[in-house]
Structure 1
């Protein structure tokens, strides 16, 4: 069960009997009997081990020997963790009789009535408490009671009054739960959450409450913006991943790129998006940054490809030399067939070193002997060496398997070359 939908009584009871965080020395104050410090350490250890009956008995001894009210308060709080309702009521009655002005004991007794579904008694006592101390805690107590009575408008009234005094997340989530789930005032619920997130240092719980509502409302834009904010604030990869997944689902590639650029969540994903957009200038920039950070040779290879693609229409010897130098570094350490073929084809197509280009393409073909791309590069290399018959034999293996314009153009030029040779031989 999610926290957002949990019955409010459990939140209330947690406030009543949450394990004490007091340090032994602060709880003891001035020692009143010899073994007081030993007993309080025992009590705290019992609490940590969830041996609540033993803890209760120890606090009872501590109170009886010291008459310090804080020991009785701890005993009363812990009694809620037991199923012994009679004992709980007995402890509370004794405590109130001894300390009639102690608000905590009365709050706990009101909580006891809530737990036992005696709501009218809980309400009467809570109203009495509120007259004495009008604060967020006591207003919230009445909100809890009215919620359990299903008086949702009245419950909301007290939660809102409490929230004006103390803008706690628990109160916020209680109000949102009422507005959205029980009063069908969905826009107000969303507004409360959005405003709180905008104005306060909200925890992940508040963001998740908004995520759940946006999910139920199928508000994709709201989900995206919330996950983006979650990642920006908490820097957890799961939130960035979710934001990107939703942007891709929405087919908003530009928004995904914008988020990745601003958040620096996943540079590799940003690189892939730039590549798919054929934005080789920015792809080169990201690959260069990643290469500097990681020294991963794969990014240097990508830099070489992006440098070629972004300058394809205005290549010159200087640019080709820069690309070749990068590829030379790559192939010394990294025999990836894609890069071997790419560099080999570049050497062939630009007449830089045709024989070396063919050699690199053949190395690529050792990994995939039937690749139409690698075979096309090999055929083109033979064509460049004026070995048209060999080129045509290679092209025959792939010509019926591809409609790539460049491959078809190569095939046409190889055929023309061979026809010219045949004509010359006949003369």
Structure 2
């Protein structure tokens, strides 16, 4: 019965014959009701006309004014809306809600100045009204007038009827935006005095303490919250991070174990525990712990996954491979596990199996060209650079505008002694991504080492260093550029900086040794060249013909002694 009545009413309201034939005696509240129903059905034109007619009959009714103004804005009748808005403001000027509504409309149409002026007008009639002050604060922040926002908030705080805690919190955010952490802390402390259980304020204050390295203050704050709710995982995670930053790994371990006890399926917590143990150098402990966790949670494949990575960390690749294959029996299409398995095969020099695994991944998603990139790296690693180049060309058919692919192609072409093609691909990579530090450095170093254009090479390397300061490879390139220019002091300075960061890099040892020899420090220079050879014997060449080049230099220097 109710449904029949509803549809009958709907038919009357929206029938063409009835729609706008208003009677002089029509009940204005009934007209307003028609307006609301029409609006609910999305018929804004009819809704607007019903509200207009209702407003004519009830000009002293603020909510009909508001509805009519909002509808006119929805219909794009901005001039009509603003005209009505001014009439509304004059008609109800003695009501604080009038100024709030008018300001909200101006703010809605992006006229922030008018919104502020309206509220300031209202404030003269209603001094220190918290609603007006609160909206003014929001608008001052929109205008980026933080000084006025702060002044207004201070007035809000003095208003006994307002929520002081919210004002203090907003004030703290403004001070934080201004990098005034001391003031931010003071205001957050005021929030917590008024609302000790305000978690949002406590988290923000704890994070500021952590950034300021006030670790004990952060720990005290988080523990106060945990006294009331010891299973609050968000606070426990933040407490864990503070202990890690403080290098208090013992307490960090206790906290992360508690998190895992509460939620053993929390992948993030399990991973954090693994990384914490690695940071502590507890390789054997992490394996034992995760073996136990795996037995306690046999269906938790993520714990098994972490266990596999733990075995990778101690270079027991066979055990890692075994675990990954166990997981794949239950989840054969898990790309993350397949990727780890392929990596483990690569690290154990089982390149055929690595390629086979990457092929499985590629069949799962032939659009994922990153798998082809990984395959190319494996082929290059096993000295099959021609095949690596072919694979990158296949990847480029999928992603022709990927700068990294052109960069990789350039490296392989360079290894195959096809420099001119390599140069074009490096330039293409930089066209696609101007701020590509590795490509900038590679091209710059190539210009330097080949003596094509040393000054241009130095310029490119400097651009790379702006994007990645203190990168050892880039520092080496810059130092080598100065060496080629004959500036041995600058050359030694930059390459020594790089060598301090990467003492086991063969190229850095080679370059530093050569600079020392050039400066007359023969014996010391030869030691670095010999070290470079020793590293190459273990790990292979970092550059084509590097071993032969170093041996020639050693023989030449010894022959001249």
TM-score bucket (shorter structure): 0.3 to 0.5
TM-score, normalisation: structure 1: 0.44
Which has the larger Rg?
1
Higher relative contact order (CA 8 A, sep 6+): 1
